[in-house]
């Protein structure tokens, strides 16, 4: 089974969010896909099988299958458009979150950008609790719940300096915990965020696309903007260019190939 490792939301290796992309000829068992994800130890490993109706894409974390993943979808599109259909500039993936379209474009300086059309999560306001404060080490000013918990903090430096308690985060509502704040005015970004996923055996996701399907709709409403640029302030860091509207989020980013390998048949 061919496997590619791609760094997403960056144009440089060793930055952004690494994802493994596997291209089996037919579906492996769920158990084997889980073992491969555990062996890789990335936040997500993607599996793509070309079926009569098109490309079917599934994502596995070290903790099991997940319903939506942005960076591994970007990485998957990079692999398809570079190694499977190099003349294609669009690919549609059939997923647990419906059909996801990824388009390849050029940026202003001729670089390659992949734009993903994703669903926006509906956010409901929830009360800020002492449990949130204990888990994060700071008290959020607002909290919202979709698939994930979204905690809004006072300022960018608080987000960057956060050292949350992973055991306490596991007890909070939501699959992931995303923390965000308005970016400092001199950075050129609209918002800064971090994403934690201890329930999926991922301490911190370096750049979380599905998390930004919570973060960006919030900031779009708050700032009155439909086009935003977000920075994920993990150790690796990453940039997401986005537009928000009509219940959808278009996430754009670059990708860099790190490696090509072969998973042995006996795996």
Mean of per-residue pLDDT scores for the chain: 96
For residue 219, give both structure tokens: 């900031």
Reported as a pLDDT band with limits 50, 70 and 90, residue 11 is very high
Rounded average pLDDT over 3-14: 96
Same domain, yes or no, for 85 and 130?
A: no
Confidence band (pLDDT; 50, 70, 90) for 266? low
- Across the range 130-136, mean pLDDT stands at 98
pLDDT band at 110 (very low <50, low <70, confident <90, very high): confident
What total of structural domains would you count in the chain? 2
228 and 258 fall within a common domain: no
Q: Round to whole Å and give the CA distance between 242 and 261.
A: 32
Domain match, 132 and 101 both: no
Residue 267: what pLDDT? Answer: 57
Same structural domain, 108 and 210: no
pLDDT at 107 over 90: no
Alpha-carbon distance of 75 to 4, in angstroms, equals 9
20 and 73 co-located in one domain: yes
Whether residue 102 sits in one domain with residue 213 = no
Asked if the model's pLDDT at residue 121 lies above 60, the reply is yes
CA distance 158 to 65: 31
- The percentage of residues in the chain with a pLDDT greater than 70, rounded to a whole number, is 99
The predicted-structure confidence for 167-211, as pLDDT tens digits, reads as follows 999 999 999 999 999 999 889 999 999 999 999 999 999 999 999
Asked if residue 108 has pLDDT above 80, the reply is no
133 assigned to active site:
no
Between these two residues, 108 and 207, which has the higher pLDDT value?
207
Work out the angle at residue 96's Cα, subtended by the Cα atoms of residues 91 and 264, and round it to the nearest 5 degrees. Answer: 75
From 142, 139, 162, select the one nearest 152 (Cα to Cα).
142
Binned at pLDDT 50, 70 and 90, residue 88 comes out as: very high
Are 145 and 242 within one domain? yes
**Cα–Cα dist 232/217, whole Å:** 16
Residue 135: which pLDDT band, with cuts at 50, 70 and 90? very high
Answer yes or no: pTM beyond 0.85: yes
Q: How high is the pLDDT of residue 185?
A: 86
| 101 part of a folded domain | yes
Angle ∠(228,67,252) on CA atoms, nearest 5: 25
Tell me the residue range of the domain where 36 lies: 2-115+253-262
Q: What angle do CA 124, 63, 247 make, to 5 degrees?
A: 30
Is the predicted pLDDT of residue 59 greater than 80, yes or no? yes
Q: What is the pLDDT of residue 111?
A: 85
**Stretch 148-164: mean pLDDT:** 97
Same domain, 128 and 90: no
Same domain for 239 and 161, yes or no, is: yes
Average pLDDT over every residue of 86-92: 97
DSSP the chain: -EEEEEEES-SSTTSSEEEEEEE-SSPPPHHHHHHHHHHH-SS-EEEEEEETTEEEEEEEETTEEES--HHHHHHHHHHIIIII-TT-SEEEEEETTEEEEEEEEE-TTS-EEEEEEEEPPP-EEE---HHHHHHHSS--SEEEESSSEEEE-S-HHHHHT----HHHHHTSSSSSEEEEEEPPTTSS-SEEEEEEEGGGTEEEESS-HHHHHHHHHHHHHHHT-SEEEEEE-SSS-EEEEEEEETTEEEEEE-EEEEEEEE--TT-
99 & 149 share domain: no
Burial class of 98 by CB neighbour count within 10 A (0 to 12, 13 to 18, 19+): exposed
| pLDDT surpassing 80 at residue 224 | yes
Indicate which residue of 44, 124, 142, 156 is catalytic: 44
Residue 150 lies in a domain: yes
User: Domain holding 81: CATH number?
Assistant: 3.10.310.10
Q: Residues 66-76: pLDDT tens digits? A: 999 999 999 99
Tokens, residue 69: 């993943």
């Amino acid at each position: 089974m061919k496997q590619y490792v791609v760094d997403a939301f960056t144009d440089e290796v060793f930055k952004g969010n690494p994802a493994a992309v596997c291209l089996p000829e037919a579906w492996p068992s769920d158990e084997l896909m889980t073992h491969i994800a555990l062996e890789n130890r990335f936040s997500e490993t993607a599996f793509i099988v070309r079926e009569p109706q098109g490309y079917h894409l599934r994502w596995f974390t070290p903790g099991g299958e997940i319903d939506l993943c942005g960076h591994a979808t970007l990485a998957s599109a990079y692999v398809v458009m570079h190694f499977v259909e190099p003349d294609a500039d669009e690919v549609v993936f059939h997923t647990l979150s419906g059909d996801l379209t990824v388009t390849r474009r050029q940026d202003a300086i001729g670089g390659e950008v992949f734009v993903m059309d994703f669903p926006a999560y509906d956010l409901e306001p929830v009360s800020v609790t002492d449990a949130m404060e204990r888990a994060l080490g700071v008290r959020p000013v607002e909290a919202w719940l979709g698939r994930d918990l979204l905690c809004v903090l006072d300022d960018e430096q608080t987000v960057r300096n956060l050292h949350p308690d992973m055991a306490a985060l596991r007890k909070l509502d939501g699959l992931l915990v995303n923390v965000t704040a308005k970016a400092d005015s001199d950075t050129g970004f609209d918002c800064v965020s971090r994403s934690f996923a201890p329930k999926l055996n991922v301490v911190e996701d370096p750049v979380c696309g599905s998390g930004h399907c919570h973060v960006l709709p919030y900031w779009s409403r708050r700032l009155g903007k439909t086009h935003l640029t977000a920075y994920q302030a993990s150790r690796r860091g990453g940039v997401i260019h986005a537009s928000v509207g009509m219940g959808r989020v278009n996430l754009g980013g670059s990708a860099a190939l790190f490696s090509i390998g072969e998973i042995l048949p006996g795996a």
